[in-house]
Chains A and B, each alone.
Chain A
Amino acid sequence: MSARDSLPAQPSLDLEALYRDSNVRDALEALERELVGLAPVKTRVREIAALLLVEKLRRTVGLQAEAPPLHMSFTGNPGTGKTTVAMRMAGILHALGYVRKGHLVAVTRDDLVGQYIGHTAPKTKEVLKRAMGGVLFIDEAYYLYRPENERDYGQEAIEILLQVMENQRDDLVVILAGYKDRMERFFASNPGMASRVAHHIDFPDYAEAELLEIAERMLERMQYRLSDAARQALVDYIALRRTQPHFANARSVRNALDRARLRQANRLFARRGQPLATADLMTIDAEDIRASRVFRGGAGKGV
Chain B
Amino acid sequence: MRLTQGAFSFLPDLSDAQIRAQIEYCLKSGWAVSVEHTDDPHPRNTYWEMYGMPMFDLKDAAGVMAEIDGCRKTFPEHYVKVNAFDSTHGWESLRLSFLVNRPKNEPEFFLQRTEAAGRNVRYATVRRDVRAR
Interface residues of A (CB under 8 A from B): 100-101, 103, 122, 126, 128-130, 132-134, 168, 171-172
Contacts and interface: CB of A to CB of B under 8 A. Distances in A.
B52 A132 contact: no
B55 interface: yes
B60 interface: yes
Contacts, number: 38
Main secondary structure of the interface of A (DSSP, over half): loop
Nearest to A171: B62
Which of A103, A126, A129, A168 is most buried by chain B, counting CB atoms within 10 A of its CB?
A129
B60 A122 contact: no
Nearest to A132: B62
Contact of B59 (A101, A122, A128): A101
B60 A132 contact: yes
A168 B64 CA distance: 13
A130 B52 contact: no
A134 B59 contact: yes
B103 to A, nearest CB: 26
B63 A129 contact: yes
13 contacts: A100-B60, A103-B59, A122-B53, A126-B53, A129-B55, A129-B67, A130-B55, A132-B58, A132-B63, A133-B60, A168-B62, A168-B66, A171-B60
Nearest to A167: B66
A130 B63 CA distance: 7
Contacts of B63: 128-130, 132
B62 A133 contact: yes
Interface string B34-55: 0000000000000000001101
B52 A122 contact: yes
Given A100-B60, A100-B62, 17 more contacts: A101-B59, A101-B60, A122-B52, A126-B53, A128-B63, A129-B63, A129-B66, A130-B55, A130-B58, A132-B59, A132-B62, A132-B63, A133-B60, A133-B61, A134-B59, A168-B62, A171-B60
B24 to A, nearest CB: 9
B57 A130 contact: yes
Contacts of A101: 59-60
A129 B63 CA distance: 4
A129 B65 CA distance: 10
Given A122-B52, A122-B53, A130 B62 contact: no
Contacts of B52: 122
A30 to B, nearest CB: 22
B19 to A, nearest CB: 15
A216 to B, nearest CB: 35
Nearest to A134: B59
Contacts of B62: 100, 129, 132-133, 168, 171-172
A171 B65 CA distance: 11
